[in-house]
Structure 1
């Protein structure tokens, strides 16, 4: 743990620099002892530089002590998770319960039968799936899913799935499917993302002896199906 630089040390450096820069320097100049005057000026500069260096060191230590959230620079958004960490295991175990909440929140929108409301509800679940997949991606090394990171990868994936399914539901050409196309497309994208999460989860924990993946998968599937939309 880094120790802070005491204020008295910084002030002592500034005080000593001032003594050499004012009193000693001008005294030796007044008696025309230029060698000692030069020495006094050099010492004044040394102590001033020391004070500046101590100031900077103190600021660095203070900055390191701040939580990342309070720093001015953008924090590194990548977190590496591990199944050897109890907190990360608990996060993994909680995903089916989070899915229940997402589907339960969206269900009233789907039940309205109004295409606009149904599509909004679907967008919310798609956002949820994106977030869950990003959490699973944190069990992989940084930049594992491309040089632009996992977030860029999943955004591109979702965009391409929307384009594909929308085109699929309009065999007669763009704009021929009516408003229901948006609802059908959203349901298909949810199915793709649900499958993607299961496949990723399988790769992360599916073959570990210390994790009951079958029980986790049963809870995930029981939490709700995109087909219900």
Structure 2
């Protein structure tokens, strides 16, 4: 997936979202060849690292990815890199951040961020933009080119309807976050609630007339509304 990041003063850059590589990608494991070919066209690599998964060793996973990059292409392995340490809205991620820094060393910049709360996003984007400005322009970027931009219709993020006294929230994004949430984990539930708040679901429910204690349903899960 490609997206354009627009900054102040008319500055912008294009970001390619590449799914996580697996060990053996340089030999074609998974969709390794397809993903690595896309990376060859980039100027800088941003590693999005999830520090909340206590079963995963993020520094080791990071090392495996870089090994795959280097085995596929020495040039790809030498591209500038920045690490975005994600899910800083969770205490477990903050707790693991310093250990991760120590394991990675001082050769790479690490930006703690939260995709949910927006923490750290602005400094990260600003650094990426400065990095790109510092890099020499590629030959293909110095000539005249035409860029066509196509805009897809904006998708409705969620919808609220009343069914038999229950407020029913539907929407692909909301349902995706619910599916990714361990409802037996109190911390994960709090994070899901924070996501709904940031998306505007709470405010929309209030506008629809919800009261404290009313039942809200998302897919097959029911919750009591709390202020």
What is the TM-score when the length of structure 2 is the normalising length? 0.22
Give the structure with the larger helix fraction.
1
Higher relative contact order, structure no. (Cα contacts within 8 Å, ≥ 6 residues apart):
1
Report which of the two has the higher share of strand. Answer: 2
Q: Choose 1 or 2 for highest CA Rg.
A: 1
Tell me the TM-score normalised to structure 1 length.
0.22
